[in-house]
Structure 1
Amino acid sequence: MNLYDDQIDGDYTRQVEDAVRTYQLARGIQDDTLGVYGRATRKSLEAETSAP
């Protein structure tokens, strides 16, 4: 979805929060607070990701 294009450094910045919020809205995730990487968001992301 190309929601985040900055450096991956482990910091949960406003840009990361915005990307998570946009992802949640796009996927209809309502079980987590918008912008918070919670259980429902993680489950959805992992379902879309395959191991390398």
Structure 2
Amino acid sequence: MKKLQRLLSAQGLYKGKINGRFDAGVKQAVAEFQVDRGVDDDGRGTYGPATRRALEG
């Protein structure tokens, strides 16, 4: 989760603590990333395979 938080932070989407917890702030940042990038294969706010590929790619 820390890696996810760092990646979202680098995108300017997550502004919370890098603490390894998937909390509401992380979920919201993931959802914003999905909307921004047009990732529709995972549920909104879910860090699934399609979101992971888009974020790490």
When the two structures are superposed, what TM-score results if normalisation uses the length of structure 2? 0.79
The structure 1 segments of at least 4 consecutive aligned residues displaced by more than 2 Å after TM superposition are none
CA distance in 1, matches of 2:56, 2:29: 16
Give, as a single letter, the amino acid of the residue that structure 2 aligns with 1:37. Y
How far 1:37 moved relative to its partner?
0.2
Counterpart pick for 2:25 among 15, 28, 35: 15
Residue 45 (structure 1) aligns with: 55
More helix by share: 2
Counterpart residue type for residue 36 of structure 1: T
RMSD of the TM alignment (CA)?
Answer: 0.6
Match of 2:43 among 28, 33, 37: 33
Specify every segment of 5 or more residues in structure 1 that has no aligned partner in the other structure, as ranges: 48-52
Q: Percent identity?
A: 43
TM-score with structure 1 setting the length:
0.86
